Amino acid sequence: METVEMNSVSLKRPRSEDDVANADEIKRQKISEKSKTGNDSGQSVETVTDQPDKSLLEDTKNEIIPNEESEEQEDEELEDSDEDGDPESFADMMKHGLTESDVGITKFVSSHKGFSGILKERYSDFVVHEIGKDGRVSHLDDFSVPVDDEDPSEETFTVLSDEDKQRLEELQLLKNKETSVAIEVIEDTKEKRTVIHQAVKSLFPGLETKTEDRDGKKYIIAYHAAGKKALANPRKHSWPKSRGSYCHFVLYKENKDTMDAINVLSKFLRVKPNIFSYMGTKDKRAITVQEIAVLRITAQRLAHLNKCLMNFKLGNFSYKNHPLKLGELQGNHFTVVLRNITGTDDQIEQAMHSLREIGFINYYGMQRFGTTAVPTYQIGRAILQNNWNEVMDLILKPRPGAEKGYLVKCREEWAKTKDPAAALKKLPVKRCVEGQLLRGLLKYGMKNIISAFGIIPRNNRLMYIHSYQSYVWNNMVSKRIEEYGLRAVPGDLTLKGATAVHIEEGDVDNYTIHDVVMPLPGFDVIYPKHKIGEAYKEMLVADNLDINNMRHKIRDYSLSGAYRKIIIRPQNVNW
């Protein structure tokens, strides 16, 4: 078995519908380092190195959005039952999905033949470890909990009998039909009752408690928290001043994307998902290890989730005074298995040497743009144009290609009635972006789409406009390589520290293509001083946008821009 440890694998997408129709052919991708390849780094200069290329094969629409209300087991079952889809529906979806050329990915770094293989046949074929901005690789290797005087007493962990714990766990995981569990208080004192309340809430996140009298005896009743109120605030207990407000931890996850994982954590902790922060979203079809921060949730509470979550583990807890920011990472370390290799040893060696020596074009990968017939960059463009009816229409309208049945019905209902309540009824899983937007329309009315759209978590809203920036960047880089090839030319941009400067005629021999950056459009960047600078302007004019006015009247949607290297040479490539 060939094992590749490296910072990017390039993929070439099949071009014709005939290719796509065959499910086996979909899996077979050209792994060629003449290849164009994408990654999904954040929007700042530090994040453009050594970021992942992601499989074109997975459904990375990334439109799973956390629900403010309690979620039912039915949601989980509906989502899990259709995890990867059968090959026919997947092939059908890809017929209507995007191709690389649709998003500007058209150029290669070299001209050798390359080889083919299957990427991510198993999710364990793709292992990702995040690299922090200090260069430290994230590993989950410590399950101990930092202790302080404010944590619940040890009695909290011993006051419940094994039988009580069994019943509470079944209730917490919705494993039986019971809606509550009653625990008799044998030695009835206020102190004893307080310890039992604390124990249930600490050990079984997701459950609430109350005291009831039954036949002259006191019982603590445990039940599932429900509704917005339960999710509104992290526990109201005071937080020690000496302790950092954010608990940072390492999250190990299997076969779940980052936003999905945060959904699950927030549901079990009964908090809103927006109190979590992270530096980058990681692939779904993979084993990944990354750092997460959460506001005012104790390490103790987080550690107890290890007992009840499948395919997740949390550890390496510490308290700090800051959250994490998207893009604040150096990159990722990948261990990738490619199966069913077709190609000679020479072709493989040639491709791998090209990857190590030249690198790859730093395109934003397909996961940036969604998998359905409505690409995310189109929604981003409509936001920047301030065209809110178009935003609503693009998210909710029917579209070709395979989608889960309930989404198809929801879209059909919307097209027929334009009634958010009726469309919402067709949607058993409310955590998708469509459900969020419909709930917003129900709450704020059809004349206030901006507020309705604002219900969607901020990171997810910004994803749309970042997708448009990425779309422009990919197209401009392809034009730049078409026009000037893989060498630095006068008028190109390079970075001096964090500041972009133009490369002058007399200075051009001091630079290579590895020094050249291109801007993501925004109000705080400069553009190349050659034909490509004009091409940026023309592309935005065609989209009814003004490159000299990238500020939006809603501050969140103002784009400052950033710079990103054209070519990335991954470090420590071996195979």
Q: Helices in 62-213 by DSSP H: which ranges?
A: 73-81, 87-96, 155-158, 162-172, 190-203
Burial 179-204 (b: 16+ CB within 10 A, else e): eebebeeeeeeeebbebbbbbbbbbb
User: In 10 A of CB 365, how many CB atoms?
Assistant: 27
321 contact partners, CB below 8 Å, separation of at least 6: 244, 245, 246
**What does the buried/exposed string (b/e) look like for 120-146 if buried means 16 or more CB atoms within 10 Å of the residue's CB?**
bbebebbbbbbbbeeeeebebeeeebe
Q: Residue 91 corresponds to which amino acid?
A: A
Q: Nearest Cα to 312, choosing from 254, 250, 249?
A: 254
- At 118, which helix (H) or strand (E)? strand 115-119
- Dihedral of the alpha carbons of 28, 30, 36, 37, in degrees to the nearest 10: 40
Q: Which two tokens stand for residue 570?
A: 């991954």
What is the C-alpha to C-alpha distance for residues 53 and 257, in angstroms, rounded to an integer?
Answer: 15
Asked whether 297 and 257 are in contact (CB, 8 A), the reply is no
Tokens of 166: 């069994």
Q: Are the CB atoms for 159 and 195 separated by under 8 Å? A: yes
Q: Is 546 noted as a catalytic residue in this protein?
A: no
Report the C-alpha gap between 357 and 439 in whole angstroms.
51
- Give the distance, in angstroms, between the CA of residue 510 and the centroid of all CA atoms in the same chain: 38
Instruction: Find tokens 């490159």 and name the residue.
Output: 547
36-39 and 360-364 beta bridge pairing: parallel
User: CA-to-CA distance for 136 and 10, rounded, in angstroms?
Assistant: 25
Count CB-CB contacts under 10 A for residue 525: 20
For the beta carbon of residue 568, count every other beta carbon within 10 angstroms: 24
DSSP characters over 331-358: EEEEEEEEEEEES-HHHHHHHHHHHHHT
**Choice among 40, 59, 92, 283 that is catalytic:** 283
Strand residue runs (E) in 137-286: 180-184, 207-214, 217-224, 246-254, 276-278
- What strand order describes the sheet that includes 36-39? 36-39, 360-364, 567-568
Tokens of 159: 């006051």
Query: For the chain, first and last CA: distance in Å?
Result: 11
The amino acid at residue 87 is: P
Query: Among candidates 64, 73, 72, 419, which has minimal Cα distance to 410?
Result: 419
Q: What share of the chain is helix, strand, coil (3-state, %, to 5)?
A: 40, 20, 40
Residues annotated as part of the active site: 283
